[in-house]
């Protein structure tokens, strides 16, 4: 039907051809990250003369996002007109929501080319049964999916672990191993590792390229050096360490790739000890800020949430009989562990139960491509070799949606690129995928439908604010409540006053 390399190639070509120069990295000086949603649809009128014959499909990019940053808590706004999180995965998902809104406009206007068909209940639609969506990211999501085994043949984020620890990793995991003088030297300001990390400005010494590897600074994320054979691992870091510290293939596991994402308050927290036990796995994490902490959950956590609640969000659930789930997640060439991806996106939520009809933990298909994104940090660094000057993350984020009107949106610091402080309150200074603009599109859709055809969830009471409409999506809120109670209790939620705009 499709392969991981076909999905990656399609997304890279779409990025190269359909996205403008504005918002892309400056050659040989900047890098960025890429994510997209691809629609898969079987070709009509196929002959089924053999059961082994592969199904021929069309593949179409319907949303795309680039970006590496998120804003700090102090910059958040109650008007809903700023993008709090501009990591590529989040931009691609919000762009996908814009695409879904457009498709709902089409079906509400009785157009024949929508991806939706009427549901069984009044005012509700559902996805056509022959369609599916694949999520692509050029890198592993930041957070839990990025905590993957590091082999002794790779660059180390801290001093190599001691011989006695490698032979008995349970010493450190149990907390019996105190920080050694070697560790303090290694993590000190004048250590070789710290100096190496300072080559990239603003990158804290402890926030090293991680396994999914996002090098993070002020919310930045990106892959570190591509390790050999890491993707062959099917065990957790702890399990690998327990098996004499050896990875499949014989290479010794001496550490883990680090994630800059910090454990949320209420979680157990990382040990910070050298070696495999540096991180606790399976925890909720928040994206780091540069002095000003963010309220943005890690991409691993967000994708795991989408895998239960769907990608459509609460607002669009008013019009849908079932959530819109991803059928597969494809990752580009980068540090990668299949086991870590399964753990982060599926296994830590696999026991969530008592969900409303239509909701459930999805066994999303997870694959990796061998194709490297040409404007990833790793690729750009390889091209520039010994070029003068620093390699920095691109400050802009690009949103693209398969919609007829103004499909592109280029932002920086959460606002359209070029917006001035004086003009920030104007309509022109809003991203088309900001909360307030997506809410405006939702209201426009609602006003295009006669009230007698509205779904029951919109008839219960008079709704005015963004928060009102979100809370009225009762089945979605019930599913979200179950997920929080059973798996994601410490999830950081914005206070209700940040959702009171109209």
The residues assigned a catalytic role are 89
Which runs of consecutive H residues, i.e. helices, occur in 88-150? 88-108
d(CA 136, CA 119): 29
Q: What is the C-alpha separation between 169 and 242, in angstroms, rounded?
A: 7
491 in Cβ contact with 484 (< 8 Å): yes
Which residues lie closer than 8 Å to 71 by C-beta, 6 or more apart?
82, 83, 84, 85, 86, 219, 294, 413, 414
C-alpha 32/C-alpha 220 separation (Å) is 9
| DSSP 3-state of 477 | helix
8 A C-beta contact, residue 235 and residue 171: no
* b/e sequence 16-43, b meaning 16+ C-beta within 10 Å: eeebeeebbbeeeebbbbbbbbbbbeee
For residue 4, give every residue at least 6 positions away whose Cβ sits within 8 Å of its Cβ, in sequence order, or none.
330, 367, 368, 369, 370
Greatest Cα pair distance in the chain:
73
């Amino acid at each position: 039907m499709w392969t991981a390399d076909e999905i990656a190639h399609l997304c890279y070509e779409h990025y190269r051809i359909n996205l403008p120069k504005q918002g892309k990295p400056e050659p040989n000086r900047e890098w960025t990250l890429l994510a997209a949603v691809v629609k898969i649809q079987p070709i009509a009128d196929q002959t089924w003369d053999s059961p082994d014959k592969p199904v021929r499909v069309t593949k179409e990019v319907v949303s795309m996002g680039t970006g590496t940053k998120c804003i700090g808590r102090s910059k958040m706004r109650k008007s809903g007109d700023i993008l709090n999180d501009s990591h590529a995965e989040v931009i691609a998902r919000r762009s996908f929501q814009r695409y879904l809104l457009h498709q709902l406009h089409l079906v509400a206007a009785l157009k024949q080319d929508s991806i939706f068909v009427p549901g069984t209940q009044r005012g509700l639609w559902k996805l056509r049964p022959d369609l599916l969506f694949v999520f692509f990211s050029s890198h592993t999501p930041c957070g839990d999916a990025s905590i993957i085994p590091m082999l002794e043949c790779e660059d180390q984020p801290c001093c190599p672990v001691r011989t006695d620890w490698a032979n008995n990793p349970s010493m450190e995991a149990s907390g019996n191993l105190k920080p050694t003088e070697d560790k303090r030297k290694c993590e000190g300001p004048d250590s070789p590792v710290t100096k190496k990390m300072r080559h990239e400005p603003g990158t804290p010494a402890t926030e090293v390229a991680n396994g999914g590897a996002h090098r993070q600074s002020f919310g930045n994320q990106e892959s570190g050096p591509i390790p050999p054979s890491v993707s062959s691992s099917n065990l957790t870091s702890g399990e690998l360490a327990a098996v004499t510290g050896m990875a499949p293939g014989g290479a010794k596991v001496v550490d883990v790739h680090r994630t800059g994402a910090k454990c949320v308050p209420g979680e157990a927290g990382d040990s910070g000890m050298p070696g495999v036990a540096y991180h606790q796995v399976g925890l909720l994490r928040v994206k780091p800020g540069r002095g000003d902490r963010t309220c943005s959950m890690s991409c691993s956590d967000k994708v795991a949430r989408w895998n239960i609640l769907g990608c459509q969000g609460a607002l669009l659930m008013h019009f849908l009989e079932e959530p819109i789930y991803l059928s597969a997640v494809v990752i580009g060439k980068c540090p990668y562990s299949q086991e870590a991806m399964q753990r982060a996106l599926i296994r830590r939520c696999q026991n969530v139960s008592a969900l409303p009809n239509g909701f459930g933990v999805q066994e999303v298909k997870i694959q990796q491509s061998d194709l490297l994104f040409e404007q990833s940090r790793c690729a750009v660094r390889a091209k520039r070799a010994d070029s003068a000057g620093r390699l920095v993350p691109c400050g802009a984020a690009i949103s693209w949606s398969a919609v007829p009107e103004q499909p592109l949106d280029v932002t920086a610091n959460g606002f359209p690129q070029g917006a001035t402080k004086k003009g920030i309150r104007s309509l022109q200074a809003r991203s088309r995928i900001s909360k307030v603009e997506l809410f405006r599109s939702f209201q426009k859709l609602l006003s295009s439908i006669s009230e007698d055809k509205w779904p029951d969830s919109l008839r219960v009471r008079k709704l005015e604010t963004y928060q009102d409409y979100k809370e009225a999506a009762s089945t979605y809120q019930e599913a979200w409540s179950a997920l929080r109670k059973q798996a994601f209790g410490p999830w950081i939620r914005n206070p209700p006053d940040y959702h009171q705009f109209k």
